[in-house]
Chains A and B, each alone.
Chain A
Amino acid sequence: MNILVCVKQVPDTTQVKIDPVTNTLIREGVPAIVNTYDAFALEAAARLKDKDPDTKIVVMSMGPANAVNALKDCLAIAADRAYLISGREFGGSDTLATSYILSNAVKKIEETEGKFDAIFCGKQAIDGDTAQVGPELAEHLGLPQVTCALEITEADDAHLEVLKEGTDANMLISIGLPCLLTFTKPSFEPRFPSLKRKMMAMRAQIPTIAFSDLPGIDAGKIGLNGSPTRVKRSFVPERKKNGMIISGGTAAENAAKLSELLSDAKVI
């Protein structure tokens, strides 16, 4: 099976702080990581490769030149090949423009790597949280899609059986190939790469696909000018008031005090 995994390099949001004056992310000194959900998508591909070593995993990312680090992390874990899509023309793209560029890049990469049987994406990026790019990419490419996949339970030459997370109940869905899946957090953790693959990945030369490599692309549909949506303002929502911590007494005394306070506030 020939699988393409789409990844985004994002700031590690567990370590991100927001500048209270400018309301923007303080990116300085914050490590960049492979978007968590994309790592789940890569792990799903890696698990297919564990079962069938003939599986080929190609990974692509759109971003600045330093996004090769995210791609190298993917090579270290399981990917066989990696492509960076990068260029000033792509800057400022919203989700629709981004997915349009990615769809053109997929066709370009397929010239070298062959037709992909499946495209795996993360459900959403942990920095933007739109959850739009995966489904939009499927639409641009005319592929059937399953979103919020937890894991692939079975695979053959023509189908994947996918466990999809639902609000009330999970669903087991059979989907024909080629297809696009977006992944959410499974019950297992993504693997750590081997030291050997890590060393190999760090030495890897990763080809870049630039605007000029995509002759069929419509320049009016990309970048800031090709984006139908704009972010007008970003701000930190007002924080709720701090709670009160009741301590100092025994558990029973503290509980009695809490009950008294709630009663006074007419909550209970």
Chain B
Amino acid sequence: MPVPYYDFDFMLTDEQKGLRDLVKDFAQSKVYPRCRECEKDAIIPEDLVKEAMDMGLNLVTLPEEYGGLGLDNFTCAVIREQLAKGDAGFASRIFGFGFTPVKLAGTDWQKQIVADSFLNGGIMAFALTESCAGSNAVAMATTAKRDGDDYIINGSKNFITNGDSADFYTVFAVTDKEMGHKGITAFIVPKDTPGFSVGKHEDKMGIRCVHTNSLFFDEMRLSAKYRLGDEGNGFKLAMAILNDSRPATGSSAIGIAQQALDLAIEYSKERVVADKPICRNQAIAFMLADMEIQVQAARQMVWGVCKSADAGIVNRKLVAAAKCFAGDTAMKVTTDAVQIFGGNGYTRDYPVEKLMRDAKIYQIFEGTNQIQRVTVSGMLLK
């Protein structure tokens, strides 16, 4: 059977195909079966994490001069789709937020310490959201007060992916309340900083092989050398980081959708009702066709914005559109996969309900899909 995501192989170099196939093998043979078990109890399979880190999967965004792979956005998206196809939570655990925050604004020293942690299997987390500042990030209450050569940080962050797994956190705090979004500053915080603590992980609906935690800063003293970029530049940086990471988020959503579609095709050929496989009913066949059409469209949008970013063009409208469409597609396609599996699909004995639970977050995190629509419409009506 032709494999759907090979349809556009002509767009990939041999090297990209080689990397994709390697990650696909790893994801399908190891990650998929293992994470299906682990996610029931929200356990991170640490030995599998180590194996993925030994493969250097966390190094895809790290530039070559720091010992990383320095892959472009497009190649990262191709790889990430495959790992997320195995398990999207696991993919988030492995990739974290990549090297982007320090790549965009870090000093040489900051780049070096973060790169060194990556080379030892570390990752970075991104801490913007607070309990009263989600879509409205400007409302954040965490403060950073200058004290000589240091800052004193107080406050908390919510729903931080990889909260208890990261080595470094990109943390945003208010340095000047009067200045609104221009009063927000970014920092990189090492996990063992005194005054910093991590709450228990949330009991989530999906992507349960990555943990999501609250972070607490209690009179946390941090040297100014950990400040990421200039004072007051944090909000702008946060938006730039999100613009950079949204295509990656989209590719994870596509991985989920493709896995659901693959499973639905297989099941519809095997499941016999009234003496024929259910795929021979046009009602089912057309559902499969619609799923394929949506996944293909979403993948092309994500690949498009990746290629655009690789050409040095960040098109905020299209980035928002791609993230939004990929997330909505994952939700729609996984929901239809459960429908095709029928009653079986609704049980945990079959794999598709888990994909449906995993898909939901892609309409919520890294900017809800409503916020993406605000961006798209805002840019249309500017």
A interface with B by C-beta (< 8 Å): 76, 191-196, 198-199, 202-203
B262 on interface, CB distance cutoff 8 Å: no
B9 on interface, CB distance cutoff 8 Å: no
Query: What would 8 A/B residue contacts be, using CB atoms closer than 8 Å?
Result: A76-B22, A192-B51, A192-B55, A193-B22, A193-B55, A198-B22, A199-B69, A202-B14
Chain A residues, CB < 8 A from B22: 76, 192-193, 195, 198
Chain A residues, CB < 8 A from B54: 191, 194
CB within 8 A of A194: which of B14, B15, B56? B56
Main secondary structure of the interface of A (DSSP, over half): helix
A195 with B55: CB separation less than 8 A: yes
CB distance from B67 to the nearest CB of A (A): 9
B248 on interface, CB distance cutoff 8 Å: no
B19 with A199: CB separation less than 8 A: yes
CB distance from B95 to the nearest CB of A (A): 12
- For the complex with contacts A193-B55, A194-B54, 7 further pairs of A-B residues with Cβ separation under 8 Å are A76-B22, A192-B22, A194-B55, A196-B69, A199-B18, A199-B69, A202-B18
Chain A residues, CB < 8 A from B26: 192
CB within 8 A of B60: which of A192, A193, A195? A195
CB distance from A12 to the nearest CB of B (A): 11
User: Could you give, for residues 68-85 of chain B, a 1 whenever the CB lies within 8 Å of some chain A CB and a 0 otherwise?
Assistant: 010000000001000000
B59 on interface, CB distance cutoff 8 Å: yes
B59 with A196: CB separation less than 8 A: yes
Chain B residue at minimum C-beta to C-beta distance from A195:
B56
Q: Complex formed: what's the CA distance from A198 to B59 in Å?
A: 13
Chain A residue at minimum C-beta to C-beta distance from B57:
A195
Chain A residues, CB < 8 A from B15: 199, 202-203
B25 on interface, CB distance cutoff 8 Å: yes
Main secondary structure of the interface of B (DSSP, over half): helix
User: Could you give, for residues 11-23 of chain B, a 1 whenever the CB lies within 8 Å of some chain A CB and a 0 otherwise?
Assistant: 0001100110011
Q: Complex formed: what's the CA distance from A199 to B23 in Å?
A: 13
CB within 8 A of A192: which of B14, B25, B79? B25
Q: A191, A194, A203 — which one has the most chain B CB atoms within 10 A of its CB?
A: A194
Chain A residue at minimum C-beta to C-beta distance from B51:
A192
Chain A residues, CB < 8 A from B59: 195-196
CB distance from A70 to the nearest CB of B (A): 13
Chain A residues, CB < 8 A from B60: 195
Chain A residues, CB < 8 A from B51: 191-192
Q: Which of B49-103 contact A (CB under 8 A)?
A: 51, 54-57, 59-60, 69, 79
Chain A residue at minimum C-beta to C-beta distance from B23:
A195
Chain A residues, CB < 8 A from B23: 195
Q: Shortest 4 CB-CB distances between A and B: which pairs? A: A194-B56, A195-B56, A202-B18, A194-B55
Q: Complex formed: what's the CA distance from A195 to B19 in Å?
A: 7
Chain B residues, CB < 8 A from A191: 51, 54
Chain B residues, CB < 8 A from A202: 14-15, 18
CB distance from B364 to the nearest CB of A (A): 30
Q: Which of B1-33 contact A (CB under 8 A)?
A: 14-15, 18-19, 22-23, 25-26
Chain B residues, CB < 8 A from A76: 22
Given contacts A192-B51, A192-B55, A193-B55, contact A198 B25 (CB under 8 A): no
CB distance from B29 to the nearest CB of A (A): 9
Chain A residue at minimum C-beta to C-beta distance from B25:
A192
Chain A residue at minimum C-beta to C-beta distance from B26:
A192
CB distance from B151 to the nearest CB of A (A): 37
Q: Complex formed: what's the CA distance from A202 to B22 in Å?
A: 12
Q: Complex formed: what's the CA distance from A191 to B51 in Å?
A: 8
Q: Complex formed: what's the CA distance from A195 to B57 in Å?
A: 7
CB distance from A17 to the nearest CB of B (A): 13
Chain B residues, CB < 8 A from A199: 15, 18-19, 69
Q: Complex formed: what's the CA distance from A191 to B55 in Å?
A: 9
CB within 8 A of B69: which of A193, A195, A203? A195
Q: Complex formed: what's the CA distance from A202 to B60 in Å?
A: 17
Q: Complex formed: what's the CA distance from A192 to B57 in Å?
A: 11
CB distance from A148 to the nearest CB of B (A): 25
Q: Complex formed: what's the CA distance from A203 to B22 in Å?
A: 15
